[in-house]
Structure 1
Amino acid sequence: MSELAERRCKPCEGGVPPLDLAAASKLKDQVNARWKWSRDGKAIEAAFEFDNYWQTTAFVNAVAWIAHTTDHHPDISFGYKTCTISYWTHAVGGLSENDFICAARIDALLD
């Protein structure tokens, strides 16, 4: 597991600015290249493909467990063999370190 994945998410109630592009880019370099910037640059997104519905739902449930244990929740959409995950910190209206920590933990599921 990466060093980033071993960090703990910090509670975020807002009142702080989102990460600037330089700080977000440094963290993005520490996650798998599958994580892309959203169109507006305020989120990171990744698409995943699986062999069947069972694998897809198992992955979604594992991501839900990560969300529950970190208290940081992504937007998830999925179908028969695909899943898309989007992370951004709602309380700050953009990206926080928590988004990249969770992305790194998801990467660890597949490594």
Structure 2
Amino acid sequence: MATTSHLSFSFVHPRISSPRHHHHHLTQLFSIQAQSRLSLKTTTTRTEAMGSDLLGDFGGRDPFPAEVESGFADKVLGNVDTEHKILIPNFSALSLAQQDCSSVSPLQNPMSIDDAQKLLKKVIGWRLLEEEDGLKLQCLWKLRDFKCGVELVNRIYRVTEPTGHFPNLHLEQPNQVRAELWTSSIGGLSMKDFIVAAKIDEIKTSDLVPRKRIWA
């Protein structure tokens, strides 16, 4: 329902005794009031048409002819003739455990300690050893018993066999397995060592480690 506001204006005129002049003054005042009411009513009606949101209606509408001719739908939704390609992740985008071991040339320099420390963050439970014959990776497992140690050694062998790069494994009494990785041909570490370490990390060991005691 439109709301009409009334505005009153007061004018100071000199006292006019003539009825004719008095009638002209009243006609001018009524004309101004009528124009004010018409202007406010038009503004109110326009606001109501826009709704409570002054930004207008966000609903769907039919496109204007000029928009159809401009082909705006193809620009927004894409051309149906567009060729879509599925890109294969490159080497660096894959996790270490998903990468394949490539051969290492004897002429290749061993990995620097800075690069090795950066890659060390991508493997779990491994640490760097600085020895006379170069950097090495080492990992230790505390297991439930000697039999579980033998089982872990077998699982590590099955995982590393396809890579052709085997760690040095030590089954130590009574319940510890120690693994060491390095590339002996270059006298230090290579990317191959970290790839194999990441593959070993994926071996299930929850059934081999000591059971946690639960206190009531």
What's the secondary structure of 2:139's corresponding residue?
Answer: strand
Cα distance, 1:66 vs structure 2: 2.4
CA contact (8 A) 2:129 2:136 kept: yes
CA contact (8 A) 2:181 2:193 kept: yes
In the alignment, structure 1 residue 73 sits paired with structure 2 residue 169: no
Partner of 1:107: 201
CA contact (8 A) 2:183 2:193 kept: yes
In the alignment, structure 1 residue 25 sits paired with structure 2 residue 117: yes
In the alignment, structure 1 residue 7 sits paired with structure 2 residue 99: yes
111, 126, 134: which one pairs with 1:35? 126
What is the CA deviation profile of residues 53-88 of structure 1, one whole-angstrom value per residue up to 9, with x for unaligned ones?
Answer: 222111101111223210001111013411000000
Dislocated runs of 4+, deviation >3 Å:
none
Question: RMSD of the alignment, in Å?
Answer: 1.7
Distance across 2 between alignment mates of 1:66 and 1:17: 27
5+ residue gaps, structure 1, are none
**Higher relative contact order, structure no. (Cα contacts within 8 Å, ≥ 6 residues apart):** 1
Cα distance, 1:28 vs structure 2: 0.8
Distance across 2 between alignment mates of 1:99 and 1:57: 22
Instruction: Give the structure with higher Rg (CA).
Output: 2
5+ residue gaps, structure 2, are 1-93, 206-216
Cα distance, 1:93 vs structure 2: 0.5
Partner of 2:180: 86
In the alignment, structure 1 residue 57 sits paired with structure 2 residue 165: no
Question: Percent of aligned positions with the same letter in both sequences?
Answer: 26
Distance across 1 between alignment mates of 2:195 and 2:156: 13
Cα distance, 1:45 vs structure 2: 0.4
